[in-house]
Structure 1
């Protein structure tokens, strides 16, 4: 899978010289110039808009299928001088309906990207930008060359993928249900389906990949099938909530500024002691136990998911025991205990 993590620190490109004669044309490895992100975004936007003006999709045929998949979706280049076939929609025309323009700030740059929303997905859940997803997908460039695909369901951690995936998937719902087939495969019903059109800055930017040149916008057809919440450091706080500044990324949050010579910065979402006070983050969260007797008509508590998280439950003949962890600001200074080094309340003692 090509969707490797792209760090938010500046790219550092090295020039490698081979031991050879100065006159040998093969003596150096070409260097990719690091371009200004804003200028490159303008170029990528122009390229994507030109793509929309020259490509159409089989809209009527796709919409007529009861439970379509990305295999049913055909995006085709319009021949010079030809008209869009009946039952198809030019992507440029779709911008008036279901081809949505989105804006996001990433790496201090204002980006526009596009989502062709075909099916929202009938499931209740949507992933956050830091969760796991199960998907099918097909990736291709603006010249319609496929560089990667998964025809069977495959799982990924969104924090390890190109930034565009973290921006797009939270806007879709998972499948409504699934059916286990007799041959060991699974069929999903009413899954989220779309196409994302990403500028290079939300893809690989200057890092060329197999089949993807540097600074190339990229496109993905996808089906969102399932999701599960991540707590990468098992500290009791879901990883997406360790994005303190709310920018949709977890690679710029490092409260205690700790660093490992081999691993690099230890960001909060992978740091079991976020404030470096010697007390594990998990132990600086309040432990709460709820006992709900459904036989007596009692209802489960409604948790504020921004500060309290279920970690365990059991059901004994209708008596449900729910254990949670809750973020605490014990001195009411608007800094949570697990982020304040001077506060070392240990709820595990």
Structure 2
């Protein structure tokens, strides 16, 4: 049984226990029916496409303007019979084709409006900490009024761990670069130069799905406006390998294996600890840090398509271990070169033999 299903089962049991009891005034709590993820994705995607086809934004403000802010963004509904005004662009035209990912055994589509890729030289991974400002809305909210947001962060004073947040954030933020510095205004405030900036339009399955929150119904497709300011690459277990490179299944999630003897997660030695949090990944009694000390190198490659990236020829003992789509539609791949003493195609730090 996969971790997602286990979590869902626990949630359902807890929900049933909670829903079966009455409160003091005799009212009954509303039971949330767990929907099929694939069916809900179709519904959500249709809603997102309809929104993108009926709204436009002030694109001229962001053209070749690294000093624009997310607060400058204006998104307006297209009235019946109205044409998109000059200086504005229909959202559907601006986002282009959908981005695709898989989560919880479901194929999802989501959309990203790229306002600025960011001028810094670092892109966070799905496992990193990010410094960001954001505003979250439903499709029915006024996106130009922050008081309509169900959640927001306007002051960048807290780092967020992406592995602790909704799946969509782990897919979208790695597309963008951080800011390339800041200017001190002399009054206790700063302006960040050229941050990554965009809007994500996401289905409920990559957000909170059946979970209801304050001002947010269950199964809500969402819109997040955001600025990516800074990020910190993490190595959670301190073994010398960045955490994102210890995700083995390529789904930008950390999971234990679904069952004994089935290596479909990120737990090489089956000790129920994913490798990113395990100091001895293969369980051979020699720490991962020791096993990579002799030969270990990380390289990055960029290609216009994922297929072109996968078709590259790499050096001996060099393996492509991580691929991410960038905001501009190209793909970056990360390789690891490490020791493979017995030549069996498995790096020593993952090989208990």
**TM-score computed with the length of structure 2 as normaliser:** 0.76
Cα distance in 1 between the residues matched to 2:153 and 2:205: 23
Q: CA deviation at 1:48?
A: 0.4
Q: CA deviation at 1:18?
A: 2.2
Superposition RMSD on alpha carbons, in Å? 2.6
Cα distance in 2 between the residues matched to 1:92 and 1:329: 48
Alignment correspondent of 1:68:
68
Matched, 1:211 2:224: no
Contact 2:66–2:193 (CA under 8 A) maintained in structure 1: no
1:272-302 deviation per Cα after TM superposition (whole angstroms, max 9, x unaligned): 22222333222222257xxxxxxxxxxxxx9
Contact 2:57–2:73 (CA under 8 A) maintained in structure 1: yes
Give the length in aligned residue pairs: 295
Report SS of the residue matched to 1:224: strand
Q: Which aligned pairs between 1:129-148 and structure 2 lie closer than 5 A?
A: 129-144=126-141, 145-148=148-151
Q: CA deviation at 1:83?
A: 4.4
1:84-116 deviation per Cα after TM superposition (whole angstroms, max 9, x unaligned): 444222213334xxx442111222211110000
Q: Where does the alignment leave 5 or more consecutive residues of structure 1 unmatched?
A: 1-6, 260-265, 289-301, 309-324, 343-349
1:36-78 deviation per Cα after TM superposition (whole angstroms, max 9, x unaligned): 1111110000000111122221222343755011111011233
Structure with the higher fraction of residues in strand conformation: 1
1:153-197 deviation per Cα after TM superposition (whole angstroms, max 9, x unaligned): 132111111111111111111112222331233211111111001
Q: CA deviation at 1:213?
A: 1.4
Cα distance in 2 between the residues matched to 1:46 and 1:205: 16
Cα distance in 1 between the residues matched to 2:177 and 2:66: 18
Matched, 1:123 2:130: no
Contact 2:132–2:229 (CA under 8 A) maintained in structure 1: yes
**TM-score computed with the length of structure 1 as normaliser:** 0.77
Cα distance in 2 between the residues matched to 1:244 and 1:20: 46
Cα distance in 2 between the residues matched to 1:93 and 1:133: 29
Cα distance in 2 between the residues matched to 1:25 and 1:42: 38
Report SS of the residue matched to 1:182: coil
Report SS of the residue matched to 1:194: strand
Report SS of the residue matched to 1:94: helix
Contact 1:115–1:194 (CA under 8 A) maintained in structure 2: yes
Bigger Rg, which one: 1
Cα distance in 1 between the residues matched to 2:133 and 2:298: 33
Alignment correspondent of 1:272:
279
Alignment correspondent of 2:348:
337
Alignment correspondent of 1:171:
175
1:196-229 deviation per Cα after TM superposition (whole angstroms, max 9, x unaligned): 0111111111122222211111111111111221
Cα distance in 2 between the residues matched to 1:100 and 1:222: 20
Alignment correspondent of 1:291:
none
Report SS of the residue matched to 2:4: coil
Contact 2:57–2:75 (CA under 8 A) maintained in structure 1: yes
Q: Where does the alignment leave 5 or more consecutive residues of structure 2 unmatched?
A: 142-147, 256-264, 301-316, 319-335
Q: Which aligned pairs between 1:1-349 and structure 2 lie closer than 5 A?
A: 8-10=4-6, 11-12=8-9, 13=12, 14=14, 15=16, 16=18, 17-18=20-21, 26-27=27-28, 29-63=29-63, 67-80=67-80, 82-95=82-95, 99-144=96-141, 145-153=148-156, 154-251=158-255, 252-259=265-272, 266-287=273-294, 303-305=297-299, 327-342=338-353
Cα distance in 2 between the residues matched to 1:212 and 1:271: 37
